[in-house]
């Protein structure tokens, strides 16, 4: 069974770049069996789908993030990374990485995914 673990800084300064990595175990990303995505949940708000990367490197992003985001995968290390530019002070959240067997665009519901990470909280403060 595929398992996911997020890692990254728990605190970033406003308008800095946030970089989070998801380490995959129990499955090889290069096998092409899953899509690898990122979802976040701000305090008191709904889950927000951010984007996804395929094993081939194709990416799909939420339009709300505009060009401030990128997701890329590193097949040799079995990891994929989210980079979010200019994190606003009002955007703390818990960030989750997730694996799905289908390409899920704009769908943050946990039940649709084969596996989720435990989540990592990111605070934004100077």
> What percent of the chain is modeled with pLDDT above 70?
100
Rg (C-alpha) for the chain, rounded Å, is 13
Residue 91: its pLDDT value, please? 75
Coil, strand, or helix at residue 123?
Answer: strand
**DSSP symbols for 77-111:** GTEEEEEESS--TT--EEEEEEEESS--SS---GG
* Low-confidence spans in the chain with pLDDT less than 70: none
């Amino acid at each position: 069974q595929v398992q996911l673990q997020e890692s990254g800084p728990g605190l970033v300064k406003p308008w800095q770049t946030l970089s989070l990595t998801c380490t995959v175990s129990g499955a090889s990303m290069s096998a092409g069996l899953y899509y690898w995505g990122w979802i976040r949940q701000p305090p008191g708000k709904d889950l927000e789908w951010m984007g996804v990367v395929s094993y081939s490197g194709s990416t799909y992003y939420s339009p709300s993030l505009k060009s401030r985001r990128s997701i890329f995968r590193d097949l040799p290390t079995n990891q994929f990374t989210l980079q979010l530019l200019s994190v606003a002070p009002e955007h703390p959240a818990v960030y989750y990485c997730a694996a799905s067997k289908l390409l899920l665009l704009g769908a943050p519901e946990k039940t649709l995914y084969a596996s989720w990470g435990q989540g990592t909280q990111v605070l934004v403060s100077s």
